[in-house]
Amino acid sequence: MPEIRVTPLGAGQDVGRSCILVSIAGKNVMLDCGMHMGFNDDRRFPDFSYITQNGRLTDFLDCVIISHFHLDHCGALPYFSEMVGYDGPIYMTHPTQAICPILLEDYRKIAVDKKGEANFFTSQMIKDCMKKVVAVHLHQTVQVDDELEIKAYYAGHVLGAAMFQIKVGSESVVYTGDYNMTPDRHLGAAWIDKCRPNLLITESTYATTIRDSKRCRERDFLKKVHETVERGGKVLIPVFALGRAQELCILLETFWERMNLKVPIYFSTGLTEKANHYYKLFIPWTNQKIRKTFVQRNMFEFKHIKAFDRAFADNPGPMVVFATPGMLHAGQSLQIFRKWAGNEKNMVIMPGYCVQGTVGHKILSGQRKLEMEGRQVLEVKMQVEYMSFSAHADAKGIMQLVGQAEPESVLLVHGEAKKMEFLKQKIEQELRVSCYMPANGETVTLPTSLSIPVGISLGLLKQEMAQGLLPEAKKPRLLHGTLIMKDSNFRLVSSEQALKELGLAEHQLRFTCRVHLHDTRKEQETALRVYSHLKSILKDHCVQHLPDGSVTVESILIQAAAPSEDPGTKVLLVSWTYQDEELGSFLTSLLKKGLPQALS
Amino acid sequence: MDLECSRLLPALCAVLVDPRQPVADDTCLEKLLDWFKTVTEGESSLLLLQEHPCLVELLSHVLKLQDLSPGVLSFSLRVAGIFAAQENCFQYLQVGSLLFSQPGGAPGLRLLSAPPFFLSSPAPCPGAVDTIFSLQGDSSLFVASAASQLLVHILALSMRGGAKEQPCLQGDDWPTCAQKIMGHVEESLCSTVTPKVTQALNILTTTFGRCQSPWTEALWVRLSASVACLLERDPIPAAHSLVDLLLCVARSPVFGSSNGSLWEMVAQALSCLGPAHVGPLALGILKLEHCPQALRTQAFQVLLQPLACVLKATVQAPGPLGLLDGMADDAMMVDALLASKSSCAGLLCRTLAHLEELQPLPQRPSPWPQAPLLGAAVTVLRLCDGSATPVSSVGGHLCATLAGCVRVQRAALDFLGMLSQGTSPQELVTQALAVLLECLKSPGSSPTVLKKAFQATLRWLLSSPKTSSCSDLGPHIPQFLRELFLVLQKRLCSPCWEVRDSALEFLTQLSRHWGGEADFRCALLASEVPELAWQLLQDPESYVRASAVTATGQLSSWGLHDPTSPQHAVARQSLLRELLRILSADSEGFPRRAVMQVFTEWLRDGHADVTRDTEQFVATVLQVASRDLDWEVRVQGLELALVFLGQTLGPPHTHCPYAVALPEAAPARPLTEALRALCHVGLFDFAFRALFDCDRPVAQKSCDLLLFLRDKIASYNSLREASPNTDSVEAAPWRWRAHEQTQPQEDQEPEAVLAMLRSLDLEGLQSTLAESSDHVEKSPQSLLQDMLATGGFLQGDEADCY
């Protein structure tokens, strides 16, 4: 029995370190290869030992697919390909291919600089890994090999994020990665066609939430920034180089323009330029509004946002600074934070998630006295705000996507167990689709129906065409033929061809049926009455009364006979070939009702 | 456990057992577990439990709670396991009841893997082993694997407890627990359900891999018949696990090389396993140190079969030597080659990878069929690029199947590269190079194939002088290089950055080794390659720019610019300027880092452009590097400064205790003059600023450099103890720390610098810097504080992610 098997090595009932193994029709595919930012040792990577025991990785895995550039989806890739030893193809979209190495390099630098980790992947490894990448376009069907094909769909979420359809023969799986069903400032909404996969593997971060409109959060954000700078305070927004940073920049830029504000906004040096470059390069991946206005005004060329220099942090007066990294665990953002933390007029806005141990996590959990290196204690007097700008589909969005794709089953990943449980029930009840939520290391096995390819002879198709009806894609039509199996191939051919190929003679098969009529007249008269009756009803058919007294309708032959024992009853013998089976049955049932009285 | 943690622990335990209190993510629990492990390694677990009753309460509470999160439950069981690893604690906690009262508490299984007294404890859990048997089939890989490991552990422990040197084969005198497990394994081996067979084989593999006591031999004698039965089934169940087991038994030192029945079984496996599994078995056998020669021969034949088929199908009858000539083809192998494209590609890739792995090993079969293997690798590549001529229907089929198959092409190129290490007949070497050139030329070659082709070509070229005279590449090199550079020219202009980059990396490697060879120089200079490499300094892709910097830097080191072309003469002179421009203006770190590496190499090797005015060169480079935002560029700057320092003051001391102590070489120039030169190039300014750099590796490197400098100066006995104004000296380093000194000081006096050097506690700084900068955040206090603080924070907010 063919089956689809799914084993999450990461993202099974948790968020972080996405890595899902899918076996479909004998092909093995790894979906995402992420790292967990919360660990500092090997646990940050998925446990690959469970697949390395299947022999050489490159032989076992047919391909790796990366959904988008966030490190929890691609962070373990150089480790997997250059240190664990996977040497096969890696698929991702063009923007992901461009941005992924920047974030990997950023992360490597922090790991080596701050933590002094020596056993980490190097720049050369990142480059060698990126050389194994095959970039794909949206909606382009890519043949991984003769049997396995993949296709990317737009997912929103971040620049270049994609959902992937994996298909082998008639079996298919769709993996959503992270996606967003509502457009935001810079990206559009996720979309997939009615591809009816056997399985849809979807993220479920906000499985129980109906998120408020992003407009409210945006208004809130702008209000807080505005109030702080109005009273002369400084605002620090720690961000990762690419993604949310650009969305917030567009937001502030537009607001500054509208309000005619003069307070300086800065962005960590080097990054704006790079980010802008990528957004310009991949403009078709942004939302409609940005694409439309691009020619007159490039949304990624900011008038109010300038490059930041270390010395600016000490400048008096208000300012807004976007600095990396986003969790305040190292580098520029932490440096600025240390300078500004002591002043209650200032504010830090954390626009995303922070892992345990980072300064970002500490201040978000309300800690106000932070122990820094050298036994120094940093007192945090500045205001701390948290605003989630992460772009995931909420419960409604997830249901909407499931409805769009019409899968046979759904499998939930990238979410918390409790929330998944809720969504699972909702999907099963409302959409009547079976739903799974395996934990990491747990395998879900789905049986699929066996698919047998059948060839159709040209002759049969031509014969069908000759009937004058042109084929229509949306209207399935029945086609009759003879299925023959020869050399372990199945073919549907016309019966004549089948007879010829198999060297068989045709036997005529007629169905017969007796209908009893109460009629005292002679057989000939009964036959005539039948003839007149049928002639009046079957106007489109050729009804004939033959000289021998029998009646024919197409191939159907009706003869009247008188049983010797009962002169008041006549028996109608009806016979027909299998081609006219429908008509034959119709006539029989018609005659069984008797002949109209008016004629008698 | 320190006081602060002791103080925080009760509150944390209270949070953990309170289902209403949210617990931070699982990573926190994992880190907490790590901390408990460290603590229990350092002090008595029992004492710890007695001093912290909250821990015992936590463990007893989790049993009573119904709606506890699985994360906390799993954590508690594992904590119990950590404590129970010490016998007195085990009794104290009565841990047995804790484990098996929890259905699905599988993570707690691990807690049993430590205590040997578990089995001898007065009240062993009656259903324990049965529970573990059933968990072997758990849908979670992690649980199933833990269960299997645990069974092995229990088996080993109980056999050790039995203390019989030579247990009876029937197992009558085996401990009850061991008998039960063995009975289960035997039963599973006979099962018709493949997963059960797999489980049994995995237990045995782990047992023979881990335990090397004499009882394992008795175990094998008892079970080998059941294992042998598996080979008679069709299809053979759990073939992959079976191969693992056979190899594991064969490797075990318990079994002497004279174990006839084992070798018979392995030989049988070699003849009846399918192509997918027989390869790994054959490779494993060939890697064994002791094994009968006949079996090795059989294994090698199995490994060579697919390539032998390929050769037979494509080589004309009176052609060169084939593989396994005179032997009939293995029908199963031929079937696998012909069945489908993916089966054929899979088999060939595996075979090539196995042979590649075997080739460099000392225990590889001898004689090694180098020539036919090379022929086979070339043939496989020809089949992939469509240029092979089939001589049989199998050949025709292979042609159609392998044409354009990138997977096989990559594997064959790797193998071909590895074969460069042996001695091959000239004719075949020429063929190998020709097929590589074809591959590099082919417009259809994918970037990954091209990269492998470049790597293989490099290996062949670099290994060529080592080959014996009869197979020397000698006369063919110049012609080959001419053609190669034509291809390289084309590839340097490829629209794919991957290809441009691989081509540049190849060029760098080749010129590094052959830059001095006349043939190479001549062919290179006759081509447009140097010019193209120069143009790639402007490439839009930063990886390519960085590789172009390295390549042009390497070419320039060998003076590889066409002297006849005026354009190139200008280029040579302006390369330094161009690299400086990249260093100061390139927006990406990779090219800037590459420039610093080239400059350091140039300085070390005395490149003509550098030696013209070394001090000026160093001054300029350090000035640009010190302003760089990328800390790796600044670290490279310090590396360059270190080289300069070595050249000015003499090389670093060798601390080799076995080295003959030579009298110190006379310094190149008087100390004051040398120091003045260092001041002049701004080295001190750069180093002191770097010492207080916010990026730790920069500060570390600077610290090393200044320590080296201080030691070096101390060796100058003639050093005057100059003492300028002490106040200004002591204040100076702190000015750098505060970044006040934005302008480099050019008028530094050597004496002032020396005094400053002495005033710094460099050793102290070095040990501080050795600690990672997040050691405070990683501390247990920080973890406990964070977990406690989470309780108040998460309630209102949604858990978030990227």
**pLDDT at position A193, please?**
93
Nearest alpha-carbon partner for B185 in B241, B118, B133, B122: B133
Residues 118-177 in A contacting B (C-alpha not used; CB under 8 Å) = 123, 127, 130-132, 145-147
| Cα Rg, chain A, nearest whole Å | 36
**pLDDT at position A467, please?**
75
**What is the full DSSP assignment across B467-480?**
S-GGG--TTHHHHH
CA dist., res. B369 & res. B355, Å (int): 11
**The token pair that represents B257 in the structure block:** 């090389």
Q: How far is B472 from chain A (nearest CA, A)?
A: 32
**pTM of the predicted protein model:** 0.85
Which residues of A carry out catalysis?
Answer: 203
CA dist., res. A319 & res. A313, Å (int): 9
Residue A528 vs residue B84, higher pLDDT: A528
**pLDDT at position A1, please?**
64
Residue B112 has pLDDT above 50, yes or no: no
CA dist., res. A420 & res. A414, Å (int): 9
Nearest alpha-carbon partner for A328 in A348, A344, A310: A348
For Cα atoms B715, B716, B720, give the angle at the middle one, nearest 5 degrees. 130
Q: Where are the beta strands (DSSP E) in B668-798?
A: none
Q: What is the CA B320 to chain-centroid distance, rounded? A: 40
**B520 class by beta-carbon count within 10 Å (0-12 exposed, 13-18 middle, 19+ buried):** buried
Report the residue from A55, A58, A357 with minimal CB separation from B280. Answer: A55
Lowest-confidence range among A577-586, B160-169, B609-618?
Answer: B160-169
Report residue A203: phi and psi, to 5°. -70, 160
**pLDDT at position A320, please?**
96
| Cα Rg, chain B, nearest whole Å | 35
Residue B796 vs residue B634, higher pLDDT: B634
A453 touches chain B (CB under 8 A): no
CA dist., res. B136 & res. B147, Å (int): 5
**pLDDT at position B110, please?**
45
**The token pair that represents A232 in the structure block:** 């002369």
Average pLDDT of span B109-114: 44
**Mutation to test the B interface, candidates A17, A37, A56, A272, most B Cβ within 10 Å:** A56
**pLDDT at position B321, please?**
62
**The token pair that represents A175 in the structure block:** 């993996």
CB contact under 8 A, A131 and B501: yes
**A575 class by beta-carbon count within 10 Å (0-12 exposed, 13-18 middle, 19+ buried):** middle
**What is the full DSSP assignment across B259-280?**
-HHHHHHHHHHHHHS-HHHHHH
Report the residue from A40, A374, A416 with minimal CB separation from B799. Answer: A416
A338 touches chain B (CB under 8 A): no
**pLDDT at position B733, please?**
56
CA dist., res. A584 & res. A586, Å (int): 5
Peptide bond just before A325 cis, omega within 30 deg: yes
Residue B491 vs residue B27, higher pLDDT: B491
CA dist., res. A256 & res. A267, Å (int): 15
A356 touches chain B (CB under 8 A): yes
Residue-range domain boundaries for chain B: 464-606, 613-652+668-771
Residue B666 has pLDDT above 60, yes or no: no
Q: Does domain A214-386 have CATH number 3.40.50.2000?
A: no
CA dist., res. B271 & res. B236, Å (int): 12
Which residues on neighbouring strands pair with residue A572, listed in sequence order?
A: A515, A560
- Its ipTM equals 0.88
**What is the full DSSP assignment across B182-205?**
HHHHHHHHT-S-HHHHHHHHHHHH
CA dist., res. B344 & res. B306, Å (int): 9
**B767 class by beta-carbon count within 10 Å (0-12 exposed, 13-18 middle, 19+ buried):** exposed
**pLDDT at position B257, please?**
56
Report the residue from B145, B342, B448 with minimal CB separation from A145. Answer: B342
Fill in the DSSP letter of residue A156: -
Which residues on neighbouring strands pair with residue A201, listed in sequence order?
A: A175, A411
What is the second-level CATH architecture of the domain A3-210+391-443?
Answer: 4-Layer Sandwich (3.60)
* Smallest CA–CA distance from B772 into chain A, residue: A115
C-alpha to C-alpha distances, A30 to A20, A46, A88, A407, B197, nearest whole angstrom = 6, 12, 11, 20, 27
Lowest-confidence range among A295-304, B140-149, B235-244, B737-746?
Answer: B737-746
For Cα atoms B239, B243, B245, give the angle at the middle one, nearest 5 degrees. 115
Residue-range domain boundaries for chain A: 3-210+391-443, 214-386, 452-466+479-506, 510-593
Alpha helices in B273-369 (DSSP H): 275-287, 293-314, 331-339, 341-358
Residues 530-569 in A contacting B (C-alpha not used; CB under 8 Å) = none
Note every long-range contact of A547-550, with CB atoms under 8 Å and residues 24 or more positions apart, other chains counting: A549/A523, A549/A524
Size of interface A-B (CB pairs under 8 A): 175
List chain A residues with CB under 8 Å of B777.
Answer: 329, 357-359
Residue B104 has pLDDT above 80, yes or no: no
CA dist., res. A48 & res. A32, Å (int): 13
Residue A375 vs residue B717, higher pLDDT: A375
**The token pair that represents B271 in the structure block:** 């003849």
**pLDDT at position B802, please?**
57
CA dist., res. B431 & res. B424, Å (int): 11
Report the residue from B140, B447, B773 with minimal CB separation from A114. Answer: B773
Average pLDDT of span B327-346: 82
**pLDDT at position A173, please?**
98
**pLDDT at position B748, please?**
64
**pLDDT at position B6, please?**
92
pLDDT bucket at B625, cuts 50 / 70 / 90: very high
pLDDT, mean over chain B: 83
Average pLDDT of span B480-486: 94
Residue B284 vs residue A212, higher pLDDT: B284
Which stretches in chain A have pLDDT values below 50?
599-600
- In terms of phi and psi (left: phi > 0; alpha: psi -120 to 50; beta: otherwise), the region of A418 is alpha
Q: What is the CA A597 to chain-centroid distance, rounded? A: 66
Fill in the DSSP letter of residue B370: H
Q: Which residue do the tokens 């839009």 mark?
A: B540
> Domain A510-593 falls in which CATH fold?
Alpha-Beta Plaits (3.30.70)
The per-residue pLDDT for range B577-591, each reduced to its tens digit, is 999 999 999 988 999
Counting residues of chain B whose pLDDT is more than 70, the rounded percentage is 82
List chain A residues with CB under 8 Å of B741.
Answer: none
> Domain B464-606 falls in which CATH fold?
Leucine-rich Repeat Variant (1.25.10)
Find out whether A68 and A162 touch, Cβ atoms under 8 Å.
yes
The per-residue pLDDT for range B235-252, each reduced to its tens digit, is 899 999 999 999 999 998
Average pLDDT of span B451-478: 74
